[in-house]
């Protein structure tokens, strides 16, 4: 049942306080997190874990990112109302929902057929309407670009050139880049066609960004 009870709202408020204590200062982002019913993104048996600040397994061996990580990546993106944002790795759809709460237009790509089918059905039911794509995020979505912001929510072994091409000038690209066990969060600002300014923003661990697609 798609139910958001008083108890869930109370737990969510506590989670938001925890994120604020951990250094997330942007009140708009905290308010967005306060509005998204994260427990509905998980199987019903795991609802008690929904408002703990941890990543959690979802279908197809994938994860819903840790709330702190979602808040942190969202902060780096400097989201403005109306921003056109490309997300690689739809997963549960939670990160996409947070971006939509901030007034962004969200284009999101997932390579796992099973996840893609279920998230595409679920998110609109609770009022979130990104554009969903099944495909390989390494290729981006050229026909829908260029984008104001691009976000990768899986561990990228390198920064795909194709994605940088689909970013507007002065656009922001955020991605965890590195090997399987640990990645550096990178924020890249596109100053010009071949001019990029990169900042390293700490260590994170994501599931891998894989090539091609899976499932049918
Ligand atoms: N943003 C998600 C995080 C999901 S975990 C959330 O909020 O829940 C990362 C997701 O990236 C997984 O679902 C995985 O299947 C997907 N993924 C990995 N490589 C990909 C690729 N090349 N293209 C698109 N999605 C990819």
Residues in the chain: 216
**Residue reference for tokens 């962004």:** 104
Ligand 1 in reach of 77 Cβ (< 6 A): no
> What is the per-residue pLDDT for 31?
98
Region for 35 from its dihedrals, namely left if φ exceeds 0, alpha if ψ lies in -120 to 50, beta otherwise: alpha
User: What DSSP assignment string belongs to 49-67?
Assistant: GTTSSS-EE-GGG-EEPPH
> What is the per-residue pLDDT for 43?
77
Distance 111 CA to ligand 1 centre (A): 7
Distance 151 CA to ligand 1 centre (A): 11
* 65 has catalytic annotation: yes
Per-residue confidence of the chain (216 residues) as pLDDT tens digits?
A: 678 889 999 999 999 999 999 999 999 999 999 999 999 998 776 777 899 999 988 887 788 999 999 999 999 999 999 999 999 999 999 999 999 999 999 999 999 999 999 999 999 999 999 999 999 999 999 999 999 999 999 999 999 999 999 999 999 999 999 998 999 999 999 999 999 999 999 999 999 999 999 986
Q: Where are the alpha helices (DSSP H) in the chain?
A: 6-21, 27-35, 67-77, 94-101, 113-125, 161-165
Region for 32 from its dihedrals, namely left if φ exceeds 0, alpha if ψ lies in -120 to 50, beta otherwise: alpha
Instruction: Determine the atom of ligand 1 nearest the C-alpha atom of 91.
Output: 13
pTM given for the model: 0.97
d(CA 144, CA 36): 26
> What is the per-residue pLDDT for 215?
82
Ligand 1 in reach of 67 Cβ (< 6 A): no
d(CA 135, CA 116): 9
Domains of the chain: 6-204 (3.40.50.150)
Ligand 1 in reach of 92 Cβ (< 6 A): yes
Give, using CA atoms, the residue closest to atom 11 of ligand 1: 89
> What is the per-residue pLDDT for 216?
67
d(CA 130, CA 18): 28
């Amino acid at each position: 049942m798609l139910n958001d009870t008083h108890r869930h709202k109370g737990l969510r408020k506590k989670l938001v306080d925890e994120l604020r204590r951990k250094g997330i200062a942007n009140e708009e982002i905290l308010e967005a997190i306060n509005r998204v019913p994260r427990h509905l993104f998980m199987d019903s048996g795991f609802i008690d874990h929904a408002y703990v600040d941890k990543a959690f397994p979802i279908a197809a061996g994938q994860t819903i990112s840790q709330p702190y990580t979602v808040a942190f990546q969202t902060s780096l993106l400097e989201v403005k109302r109306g921003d056109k944002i490309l997300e690689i790795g739809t997963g549960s759809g939670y990160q996409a929902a947070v971006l939509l709460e901030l007034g962004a237009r969200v284009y999101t790509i997932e390579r796992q057929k099973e996840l893609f089918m279920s998230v595409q059905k679920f998110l609109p039911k609770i009022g979130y309407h990104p554009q969903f794509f099944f495909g390989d995020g390494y290729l981006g979505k050229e026909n829908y670009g260029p984008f104001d912001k691009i976000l990768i929510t899986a561990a990228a072994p390198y920064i795909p050139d194709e994605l940088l091409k689909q970013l507007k000038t002065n656009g922001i690209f955020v991605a965890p880049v590195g090997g399987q066990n640990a990645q550096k969060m990178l924020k890249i600002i596109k100053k010009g066609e071949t001019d990029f300014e990169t900042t390293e923003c700490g260590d994170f661990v994501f599931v891998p960004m894989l090539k091609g697609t899976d499932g049918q």
